[in-house]
Structure 1
Amino acid sequence: MTDSPARSNIPTFDSEEILAGIRRWVEIETPSHDGVAVNRLVDVVESDLARIGAPTKRTPGRDGFGDILEARAPWGDEDEPGILIMGHLDTVHPVGALATTHVFRREGDAVFGPGIYDMKAGSYMGFYALQHFVREGRRTKLPVRVLYIPEEEVGSPTSRAAIEAAALKSKYVLVMEPARDGGKCVTARKGWGRFDMTITGRASHAGSRPQDGRSALRELARQILDLEAMTDYDKGISVVVGMASGGSAPNVVPALATATIDLRVPPGIDVDAVVNRVLQRTPFDPDCRVEVTGGINRPPYEKNAGITALFEHAKACAAEIGFVLEDTPLTGGVSDGNFPAALGIPTLDGLGADGRGAHALDEQISYASLVPRAQLLVRMLETLT
C-alpha cells in the first residue's frame, strides 16, 4: 500500500494562502436547499479546477439542489482505480448568516464563518492538494479524483448514486470532513435512518362528544414512548422523535398527528430488524391508523481491515510530519463516507481542518491545523500505491 515516508519530502505550505482560499469559498453562502446559491460556489470551484488543468464533469442538480462536480487530476489513466477525495459544498446556514450570526473573522487561533468547519475548509484542502502537485510539476503514483457534493447536509438524496459509482472506481476514499476531538480522524460511523409517521384518528367535539373521537395525538404520545424505548445506549442504538405536531383546534379531538423519527445504528447490529421495528407499528387504539415511511439513509461505516490499514498509513504520514494522528471511536454523526465504506472501499474520514462547533453559532477551525492537515493529505496522495 505505501512507500516509506521520508521527512525531507514534507511540503512547505503558507497558512495565509490556505486560509485565503478557504475564505473565498466560505464567503459564498450555500444552504443545501438553495441550489442556485450552491451553484455559485460550484461555478467558482469548477473555474479553480480548470485553472490547474483538471478535467471536470458537472451533473445538473435536480429537486432544487445544486450540481454535482467531479474532477480528476491532470495526469494518470482515467480508467485506473485510484484515490477519490470527497467533500461537500453545502452548509446548514441560511443566506445572510455571514453578515449576522457567522461573520468571518479570526480571533487568535480560531477562524469563524458559516460552514467553515463543516466542511468548506476540508473541501478546499482537496483542491489545494491537487494545486500543489500541479505547481510542483509532480504526479501521484495513483490517479486522483475529487468529488464535490451539493446536498450532503440533507442526506445526499440526489448524489448517492454518483458517490457510489465514483467509489467503486477507487482503491481508496479520503473524506475531507472536519477532524474530531482535537485532530482525530474518523474510521467508523453509525448508520442513519429517517422516518415519517402519520397517525389518523377521528375528530369530534371536545366538549359535547369527546367519546366519539379517537385522538391521534394520544396515539402519537404512546407511539413516541414505544419508539424511544428502543434506544439502547449499551448497544449504540438511538431512536429519537425530533418533531411532532397534530390537531386542528383547541376544542376538537385531534384526527391527525405527524412525527419525524431519527434512528442511529452502529456496525454489527442487524439493521433490517431495527428498521422493521420502526416501520411495523401496531396502533394502541385499534380505531387509529399508524403509517410509517422511510428507511436507512446512510448505512453503517465499519472499521474493517482495509480501513485499519489505511489509517495506519495515515498515522505514519502524520508521524513523519510531526504529530500523532488518532482515530475516534464510533461516532453517531454520518457523512458521505458511509457510502463507500459500506461498499467495502477502504475509506478514511475526518481528514479536514481541526476545530469545533459544526452547525453551531461558534463554528470555527483552528488556524494552526491548516498546514499539517494539508501536508497530511499531500503525503497520503504521494505515498499511497
Structure 2
Amino acid sequence: MIEVHSKESEMLQLLEKLVNIDSGSNNKAGVDKVGEIVGQKFKELGFKVNVVPNIEVGNHLVIQHPDASHIDILIVAHMDTVFEDGTAKVRPFSIDQEKGRAYGPGVIDMKASLVSVLYALQALKDEGDAAYQNVRIVLNSDEEIGSRSSRGLIEEQARGISYALIMEPARKDGSLVTERRGSGRYKIEVQGLAAHSGIEPEKGRSAIEELAHKIVKLHELNDHEHGISVNVGIIEGGNAVNTISSSAIGHVDVRVATPEQASEMEHKIEEVCASTDVRGTKIEVTGDISRPPMLKNEKIAHLFQIVQEVGRELGMAIKDTKTGGGSDASFTAAMGIPTIDGLGPIGGGAHSEDEYLEIASLTERTRLLSKIIQRLHVYK
C-alpha cells in the first residue's frame, strides 16, 4: 500500500520554504529560486531537470526520468503566484492547528501542488513501482499571467501523451475540474487631444470619453446565461482633472464557454473598436482569446471515471465540476488529450490574504495522485 501520511511533516517543511519565497509572475528571481529548490528535489529522485530559460519571466522546467520506458502521462504545475514582492515577509507561512489549515501567499495556488507531485512520485519509487519514471512534468513560470511564454512548451511536451494531469488546487468541496471556460485579455488604447478644460475645452478630444463609449458597448456583449462574460476591469487615463485627456487605456477580461463563442467574441470586439464615437480620437486594440475552452468530452469523461474508481479504492468519493477560471488544462484538452484538472490538494481563498490549504488533504490528495499515476501506467 502506498504510504504518504508519514511524510506530512517534511512535506509541510518544504511547503513552508516555498511559500516564504516571493514568486509573483514578474519576480523572475523568486520564481527561479522556487524552481531551483523543487528541481533539486526531483534530481534527488533520479530525474533529469531541463531548464528552459526566459529573460523576462522565470525559467520553465521540463522534468523526465532518464530510465523512462514509455512516457504517457504529462503533469503540469506552475511556480508563479499573483502576489506582490514583500508579501511573504508580511504574511509568511503559518499553521492554525485548531482549524487544520496552513496559510501563506501561494500556499494552495499552487505551491502545495509542487510538493504533492514530488511526494507522489517518491511514494511510487519507495514502493518499487516503475510508474514513477514514466511521467513528464512541466513546471511553468507564467500561468497566472496567461502562460504566454509557456503555452508552446506545454503543447510541445504534450505531443504523443495519453493523459494530462493538471495540478491546480481541488475546489473547496474536493471536486476535480473537468470543464473550464476559455479566456482572453485585451488592451484598448485610445489617443485623443489634450486641452485645458476651462480655457479651450472645444479644442480637446477626450480619450477618456471615447473609452467610456467602448466600455458600455463591450459590457453589452455579456451573455451570462450562455457563458459569455466581458469585463473592463482596469482603466487608465488623464493626468489632471482640468485637462481633456489625451490618452486612456482599458484592460478587458473575456470568458467564453465554447470555441464558437471564442471566434464570435474576437470578431465582435474588433467590430466595437473598428470606429470611434468621439471625433478626432484614435483607437488600437491588442490581445486575443489565449486559452481555449476545456469541454468535458467523452475522453475526459472516461478519464474521470478512472479517477473515480481509484478514489473509491482509497475511500474517497470524487466529484467533478466546471469553472469559469482559466488554467493550462485548456491547452492539453484542446489538443484532444484526456485531461483532468484540480488534482492538487484542497483549499480556498486563492489570490487573497485568506488563502489556505486544508492540511489533511496534502497527504490524501498526494496519495490519490500517486495511485492515479499507477493506474494510468497500467492502462498504457
Partner of 1:89: 79
Taking the TM superposition and a 5 Å limit, the aligned residue runs for 1:238-277 are: 238-267=229-258, 269-277=260-268
Q: Does 1:133 align with 2:155?
A: no
Question: Taking structure 1 as reference, are residues 317 and 121 closer, same or farther at Cα in structure 2, changes over 3 Å only?
Answer: same
Instruction: Compute the displacement of 1:92 (Å).
Output: 1.3
Contact 2:64 2:133 in 1 (8 A): no
Contact 2:259 2:292 in 1 (8 A): no
Instruction: Compute the displacement of 1:141 (Å).
Output: 8.7
Question: Taking structure 1 as reference, are residues 294 and 341 closer, same or farther at Cα in structure 2, changes over 3 Å only?
Answer: same
Matching residue within 344, 347, 350 for 1:358: 350
CA distance in 1, matches of 2:192, 2:85: 40
Q: Does 1:99 align with 2:112?
A: no
Aligned to 1:140, what secondary structure does the other structure show? helix
Contact 1:73 1:130 in 2 (8 A): no
Aligned to 1:117, what secondary structure does the other structure show? helix
Matching residue within 268, 285, 302 for 2:295: 302
Question: Taking structure 1 as reference, are residues 47 and 67 closer, same or farther at Cα in structure 2, changes over 3 Å only?
Answer: same
Instruction: Compute the displacement of 1:159 (Å).
Output: 1.2
Question: Taking structure 1 as reference, are residues 111 and 141 closer, same or farther at Cα in structure 2, changes over 3 Å only?
Answer: closer
Tell which deviates more after alignment, 150-159 or 94-103: 94-103
CA distance in 2, matches of 1:128, 1:169: 25
Instruction: Compute the displacement of 1:214 (Å).
Output: 1.9
Q: Does 1:50 align with 2:43?
A: yes
Question: Taking structure 1 as reference, are residues 205 and 95 closer, same or farther at Cα in structure 2, changes over 3 Å only?
Answer: closer
Q: How many residues align?
A: 373
Matching residue within 344, 347, 360 for 2:339: 347
Tell which deviates more after alignment, 180-189 or 276-285: 276-285
Aligned to 1:313, what secondary structure does the other structure show? helix
Q: For residues 185-233 of structure 1, give each alpha carbon's deviation from its aligned partner in whole angstroms, at most 9, with x where no partner exists.
A: 0011111111110112222231232222221111111111110111111
Q: For residues 290-330 of structure 1, give each alpha carbon's deviation from its aligned partner in whole angstroms, at most 9, with x where no partner exists.
A: 2211111211111111111111111111111111111113x
Instruction: Compute the displacement of 1:116 (Å).
Output: 0.7
Partner of 1:177: 168
CA distance in 1, matches of 2:363, 2:242: 63
Tell which deviates more after alignment, 261-270 or 318-327: 261-270
Contact 2:168 2:342 in 1 (8 A): yes
CA distance in 2, matches of 1:376, 1:177: 14
Contact 1:10 1:321 in 2 (8 A): no
Question: Taking structure 1 as reference, are residues 251 and 12 closer, same or farther at Cα in structure 2, changes over 3 Å only?
Answer: closer
Q: Does 1:192 align with 2:176?
A: no
CA distance in 2, matches of 1:204, 1:356: 49
Question: Taking structure 1 as reference, are residues 96 and 204 closer, same or farther at Cα in structure 2, changes over 3 Å only?
Answer: closer
Q: Does 1:121 align with 2:107?
A: no
Question: Taking structure 1 as reference, are residues 219 and 48 closer, same or farther at Cα in structure 2, changes over 3 Å only?
Answer: same
- TM-score (normalised: structure 2): 0.93
Partner of 1:27: 20
Tell which deviates more after alignment, 296-305 or 267-276: 267-276
> Whose helix proportion is higher, 1 or 2?
2
Taking the TM superposition and a 5 Å limit, the aligned residue runs for 1:209-248 are: 209-248=200-239
CA distance in 1, matches of 2:354, 2:336: 36
Contact 2:76 2:165 in 1 (8 A): yes
Q: Quote the RMSD (CA, aligned, Å).
A: 1.7
Contact 2:4 2:123 in 1 (8 A): no
Instruction: Compute the displacement of 1:336 (Å).
Output: 1.2
Instruction: Compute the displacement of 1:58 (Å).
Output: 1.0
The one-letter amino acid of 2:102's match is V
Matching residue within 362, 371, 376 for 2:368: 376
CA distance in 2, matches of 1:308, 1:270: 23
Contact 2:73 2:162 in 1 (8 A): yes
CA distance in 2, matches of 1:31, 1:325: 31
Aligned to 1:245, what secondary structure does the other structure show? strand
Q: Does 1:367 align with 2:359?
A: yes
Aligned to 1:234, what secondary structure does the other structure show? helix
Contact 1:102 1:361 in 2 (8 A): no
Partner of 2:313: 320
- TM-score (normalised: structure 1): 0.92
Contact 2:184 2:288 in 1 (8 A): yes
Matching residue within 329, 334, 339 for 1:337: 329
Tell which deviates more after alignment, 66-75 or 112-121: 66-75
Q: For residues 86-111 of structure 1, give each alpha carbon's deviation from its aligned partner in whole angstroms, at most 9, with x where no partner exists.
A: 11111112332223134423343111
Partner of 1:38: 31
The one-letter amino acid of 1:86's match is V
Aligned to 1:324, what secondary structure does the other structure show? coil
Q: Does 1:168 align with 2:162?
A: no
For structure 1, the 5+ residue unaligned runs are 1-8
Instruction: Compute the displacement of 1:81 (Å).
Output: 4.4
Aligned to 2:130, what secondary structure does the other structure show? coil
Instruction: Compute the displacement of 1:249 (Å).
Output: 2.4
